[in-house]
Amino acid sequence: MSPGGQEEVGLIVHGLELQGKEILDIGSGLGGPSMCLVSQHGAGRVVGIDIEPLNVARATNYAVKAGFSDKAIFQAVDGGSLPFKDESFDVVFSKDAITEAPNKEGIFREAYRVLRPGGWIAMSDWFRGAAPYTAEMLEWFKVAGVTLEMTTIEETADQLQRTGFADVRIEDRNAWYQAESKREVSRMEGDDRIRFEKMFGNDEAEEWINESKLQSLVVAQGQLRPGHLRARKP
């Protein structure tokens, strides 16, 4: 899973009643968060969607192996309108997947549409700081292959409100990730490097370390800021 693993998933949905609920996971990747919502939080059914068919195939395989194939279901989408009827889900969940989407408000409108009244969107993502980009941040964009579609967490909260959501709440997680990113670099420069080199080679290991150091720097600058958002459909 992306940074924070199951603990971050738990924080994103903390306080929400998920027992037996139907959840849509936008940008489900390899399926880790979806299966966590089933195994750790009692979700009745999670439908994970991703634009990468290979991710969907792998997530489906992992769900079968874990015994969750009846509760964690994955399908590929093309990035347009969601292939679900109005008011199909109790919760829309997303972990670190909407950052690069150029039409975030379109995604939020679709999330609003497929949510049942009283349902919640609960998500984490990567946000930019309010200050102009530093040279290091622009370099990180190039190294990481990330587009310039990032917004601040406050701008994203405004987008949710314009869509019609109520009770919008935000939580900046930059301080947590400053410490986490330093630990990641330290691990990679230690024993993890040996395992990484055996799998991918020295050049790949060095590239990963350099990228991680640059990411840790822009996080410390406040330019790259992970955060949580939650909002309710009236």
pLDDT tens digits, one per residue of 75-132: 999 878 999 999 999 999 999 999 888 889 999 999 999 999 999 999 999 999 999 9
Backbone dihedral angles phi then psi of residue 176, each to the nearest 5 degrees: -60, -45
* Cross-strand pairs, 79: none
The dihedral built from the CA positions of residue 79, 103, 115 and 122, taken in this order, carries a sign that is positive
Determine the average pLDDT of the residues in 49-75: 96
Check pLDDT > 90 for residue 70. yes
What pLDDT score was predicted for residue 26?
97
3-22 per-residue burial string, b: 16 or more CB within 10 A, e: under 16:
bbebebbebbbeebebeebb
What pLDDT score was predicted for residue 27?
96
What pLDDT score was predicted for residue 112?
98
Check pLDDT > 90 for residue 204. no
Segments in 40-103 forming alpha helices (H): 53-66
> What tokens appear for 215 in the block?
């990411």
- Identify the H or E element spanning 110: helix 104-114
Tally of CB atoms within 10 A around 130: 12
Confidence of residue 37 (pLDDT cuts 50, 70, 90): very high
Check pLDDT > 90 for residue 196. no
d(CA 180, CA 187): 11
Task: Say what percent of the chain tops pLDDT 70.
Answer: 100
The CA-atom distances, in angstroms, between 122 and each of 54, 160, 177 are 25, 11, 19
Check pLDDT > 60 for residue 1. no
Q: What is the mean pLDDT of the chain?
A: 94
- The CA-CA-CA angle for residues 109, 113, 118, to 5°, reads 110
Task: Say what percent of the chain tops pLDDT 90.
Answer: 79
- The CA-CA-CA angle for residues 220, 222, 226, to 5°, reads 95
Q: Go through the domains of the chain in sequence order and give each one's CATH number.
A: 5-129+147-174+224-232 (3.40.50.150)
Check pLDDT > 70 for residue 29. yes
> What tokens appear for 24 in the block?
């849509």
Among the ranges given (1-5, 121-125, 176-180), the one the predictor scored with the smallest mean pLDDT = 1-5
